[in-house]
Every structure is written in C-alpha cells, then in structure tokens.
Amino acid sequence: MDKFEQRRLALRALVDSLGRGGINMVAQKICKEASYVSRMLYPSNKNGAKRIGEETAELLASAYPEFFGADAPAAQPAPEPPSNPPVGSPTSSGEAPPSGYTRLPVMAEASAGHGRIPEMEVVQHIDVLESYVRQRLGANPKNLRVLTARGNSMTGVIEDGDVMFVQPTCEFTDDGIYILTLDDLIRVKRLSVSMTTGRVVIESNDGRAAEELPLKEVPHRLHIQGRVLGSWSLRRFA
C-alpha cells in the first residue's frame, strides 16, 4: 500500500469518526471546498479518487494529528538551488536543516499576472534563516509556506520571480496582499474594503483598474489561500 492510499484510508477513518457532515467539517478545518475533500475519498472517473498531495497532507496533519501525525509528507529536491541567504538550498525533508535554519515547504508557483488554474501542492522544501523569519516577518516558521511569484501586476511591491513568504489562511483578516483564487484563477493581489461602497476591492500595482466585489458575491467567487507577509528578491546586475 502506497502513501496515497494510506492517506485516503486515514481520511476515510477521520470522516467516519466525525459522523454526519464529516466531509464538510474537514473541508472547513483545512480551508478547502467540500467537493475537494469528497474527490479524495470517492473515485470520480476511471483514474480513481484524487490523490492527497503533500500540501493537503500537511494541513490534515496539523488539524488532525491523531489521524495523520505519523504521515510525514516527502518532498522532492530541486536540481538548482537559490543563490544566497536568507534562502538556502532546496532539500529533502528527511534530513535535518543546518543550524540556524528552518525548513519551509515550497508550493507550486502562484501567478501575479492574469492568473491560471489553481495548483497548490508542495513541490519541495527549502531551508531559510530562522532569524529572518522571526525578526523580519514576525512569524512562526511552522505557519509559513514559500511561493514564487510569476507576473508583473504587483510590480514595485512584488516582482516576477520574487520569493514570497505566505501564511496560510482562508480568511480576510485585514487589508494586505493575499494569495487568492478568483473565478478559479490563482492571483496575488492587494485586498481592502472600500469605506465608500463597502465592497471588497482587489487591486494590482501596475496601473490597471481595481476590481470590486459586492460582499454577497465574495463567498462564491473569491477564496483566500494565504496572506503574503513579505518577499525576498534577487537582483542580477550585468
């Protein structure tokens, strides 16, 4: 039995233990749609049920350690490491990080342009200076994910290729820059609430007009996946 089948069976046991409405309860706990959890349990086509990937496995382990605590997701090392601190080399999650570093999961790239179909799974792990995370970002390393921005819509704040440090959340807690899914496209945008209209304002940083959503449409069209606490850039000079 491979790790994906082990995860599926653990999820089945968890849902069964929660009783009626178990799928909805799990989905809410890990900030996913109920249909997403359902697809991991039940085959929807000849290929079988959706595999429980590394990012989802980590969310489940954090929310339900009694069911997933022993399931340590494996990461795939990348062939080419980033250049300089505070970010170290991509590494296997099976070996300990160097002294003074903390290990963060790297997610599939997010778009800072027109967006694209969501793909938010762990692709590798990377070692980052723990002092950088705690002092510069004011965050607990255990609650962070790393993404690479693609696109220029947030230029001047977040550039194409910047390393973003993201705190997973499904809630809009305050004005700021968020990783979000809008109409099934992943975007990196600034969110705020208009004091004039009371609508949620979605802004880029490249001069294009802001988008506004009535509050009643937000739950159906906009799904927050994380808040960007900071970013790190490498500038190359010829």
Contact in structure between 22 and 76 (CB atoms under 8 Å): no
**Average pLDDT for the chain:** 78
92-115: average pLDDT: 71
Q: Does residue 117 share a domain with residue 52? A: no
Within 10 A of 121 (CB to CB), how many other CB atoms are there? 16
CA distance 228 to 207: 21
Q: What does the pLDDT read at residue 177?
A: 94
pLDDT at 124 over 50: yes
Judge whether 104 lies within some domain.
yes
pLDDT at 235: 66
- ω into 86 cis (within 30 of 0): yes
Residue 113's pLDDT band, with cuts at 50, 70 and 90, is: low
Indicate whether 24 pLDDT > 90: no
Q: Which of 68, 98, 116 is the last residue of a domain?
A: 68
Determine, yes or no, domain membership for 171: yes
Q: What is the DSSP track for 18-53?
A: H-TTHHHHHHHHTT--HHHHHHHHS--STT-SPP--
Domain that holds residue 102: 87-232
Q: Please tell me the predicted confidence (pLDDT) of residue 191.
A: 93
Residue 217 in any domain: the answer is: yes
Instruction: Please check whether residue 207 lies inside any domain of the structure.
Output: yes
pLDDT score at 83: 38
User: Taking 60 as the threshold, does the pLDDT of residue 93 lie above it?
Assistant: no
The answer on 208 and 111 residing in a single domain is yes
Pairing of strands 185-193, 200-203: antiparallel
Assign 2 a pLDDT band (cuts: 50, 70, 90).
confident
On whether both 48 and 112 belong to a single domain, the answer is no
Euclidean distance between the first and final Cα of the chain, in Å?
52
Instruction: Average the pLDDT over 205-213 and give the result.
Output: 88
| Residue 209 counted as domain residue | yes
Same domain, 190 and 225: yes
**CA of 85: how far to CAs of 103, 135, 163, 182, in Å?**
13, 15, 12, 33
pLDDT at position 229 = 92
> What's the rounded mean pLDDT across residues 103-132?
70
Domain count, the chain: 2
DSSP secondary structure, 108-157, as one string: PPEESSS--S----EEEEEEEEHHIIIIIS---GGG-EEEEEESSTTTTT
Strand bridging mode 145-150 / 110-111? parallel
In this structure, are 46 and 117 located in the same domain? no
Q: Each residue of 148-204: pLDDT tens digit? A: 888 888 988 888 888 899 998 888 878 999 988 876 677 899 999 998 888 999 999
Mean pLDDT value across residues 207-211: 87
Is residue 204 in some structural domain? yes
- Of 68, 102, 120, the last residue of a domain is 68
